[in-house]
Amino acid sequence: MANKTPQVEFTKEMKKDYTIITPNMAPIHFELIKNVLQSFGYHVDLLHTTGREIVDEGLKYVHNDTCYPALLSIGQMMHALHSGKYDLHKVALVMTQTGGGCRASNYIHLLRKALKKDGLDFIPVISINLSGLEKNSGFKITLPLLRRALAALTYGDLLMLLKNQTKPYELHSGESDQLVRSWVEKLTMLFEKGRAFSQREVRSYFDEIARSFSQVPTEHRDTLKVGVVGEIYVKYSPLANNDLEQFLFEQGCEVMVPGIMGFMIFKVDNRLEDIALYGGNPAKKQLCTVLKAYFTKFETDLIEAVKKYPQFTAPAPYTHLKELAKRVIGPGCKMGEGWLLTAEMMELIESSYENVVCTQPFGCLPNHIVGKGMIRKVRELLPNANIVPIDYDPSATRVNQENRIKLMLAVAGEKKREAQKNQESA
């Protein structure tokens, strides 16, 4: 216990003039979350740094065999501290802490160890968790903050989904990206006024957002539809997946990335599965049931908003994904992204996104099992599946990753041409 890295509390006094630095996982979602936190009086800086220097910085503090997302997020924050941009005595760092079997629960301790190595262990590290793992008097997850953060996540899901289905066909390059930026600005102003997060308001703004994307001038282009699944950080982070979405757009693809709200429902539903399998506290069961219903309302409203415009493909509800997964894997499999990752592959293929990139950190055993390990069974059930697993770690080269994806796309293109040829000759 004598060697334990000390925990420095983020106090109420610090909230006034400290800058909280946060790593960036999902650019649209985290920009909205940052703006929600700022509306509650926190000074937040969301990092946008990329490049090999982030990996190299992470390798100074995190062993190569440790989870790649830990290496990147810690590398990104340590790189920021060394940039000279911040007063090191007026700065704090923030990380999520899941509390489950995933190594993500330990990132925060690895970060404190990195700070101690550089003599910066006076810098507070804030844990964002709903499990009571750590507390800071100056940073509290209140009910109003949680409600707005959840609304922000769902807005992020919708903006990401509609942008990805509009960008490959837009008549004027960059219009869908600009529309995302304008909606982020508008929602931020609404959050500052305490608006756009009630269920009624969210439903109304979902409709407005969907309508605005439906009005972007587009033209028909021959594209390949590609879905992206995987470990949550690598799936969303351009830093971790070498800007995978942009690469796929450049290859003439339409991209579908399942949203974060499904993952949130999955995490709550896991608690209910535990209680069903092993028994548990009735009060906990009641709380999780209420939370699941609350999250599901957001999901339902998002799906209904997208369905109003036939040019867009709406995601399937969580309940459907769970039923799909049961054909392959049990609902008690929940480490990492658990059965949800397998279900997302199946739902994408079912929705005509039969070409799937499965992104995973090389050392993430749970996601190798529910991702790469399920591919053979998924192909047996869905013969049109064209899935390529891609490992991401400090030693993996971008060229190798992109070549493997290009090979998958070449197979997809050949299949498409054969299908068109058979249709013409029928």
pLDDT (tens digit per residue) in 316-355: 999 999 999 999 998 888 888 899 999 999 999 999 999 9
- List the domain range (segments joined by +) for residue 370: 223-259+315-425
Residue type, 55: V
Asked, for residue 281, whether it belongs to a domain, the answer is no
Number of domains, the chain: 2
pLDDT reported for residue 399: 94
Intra-chain end-to-end CA distance of the chain, in Å: 74
CA distances from 302 to 104, 154, 205 (A): 29, 8, 10
- Cβ-in-10-Å burial (0-12, 13-18, 19+) of 380 comes to exposed
Alpha helices (H) along 60-136: 68-81, 107-117
Residue 239 sits in the same domain as residue 134: no
Residue 357 sits in the same domain as residue 253: yes
Residue where a domain stops, chosen among 141, 158, 177: 141
Among residues 160, 98, 106, 172, which one has the least CA distance to residue 131? 98
Residue type, 301: D
Residue 107 sits in the same domain as residue 244: no
Among residues 137, 59, 54, which one has the least CA distance to residue 92? 137
**For residue 72, what is the domain's CATH number?**
3.40.50
pLDDT tens digits, residue range 372-404?
A: 999 999 999 999 999 999 999 998 899 999 999
Q: At what angle do helices 199-214 and 175-192 cross, to 10 degrees?
A: 160
Residue where a domain stops, chosen among 92, 123, 141: 141
Residue 236 sits in the same domain as residue 379: yes
Residue where a domain stops, chosen among 77, 109, 141: 141
When pLDDT is cut at 50, 70 and 90, the band that residue 136 belongs to is confident
Residue 255 sits in the same domain as residue 358: yes
Compute the Cα dihedral for 76, 77, 82, 84 and give only its sign.
positive
Q: Which residues contact 175 (CB under 8 A, 6 or more apart)?
A: 166, 216, 217
pLDDT tens digits, residue range 143-183?
A: 889 899 999 999 999 999 999 999 999 999 999 999 999 99
pLDDT tens digits, residue range 232-283?
A: 999 999 999 999 999 999 999 999 999 999 999 999 999 899 898 888 888 8
When pLDDT is cut at 50, 70 and 90, the band that residue 1 belongs to is very low
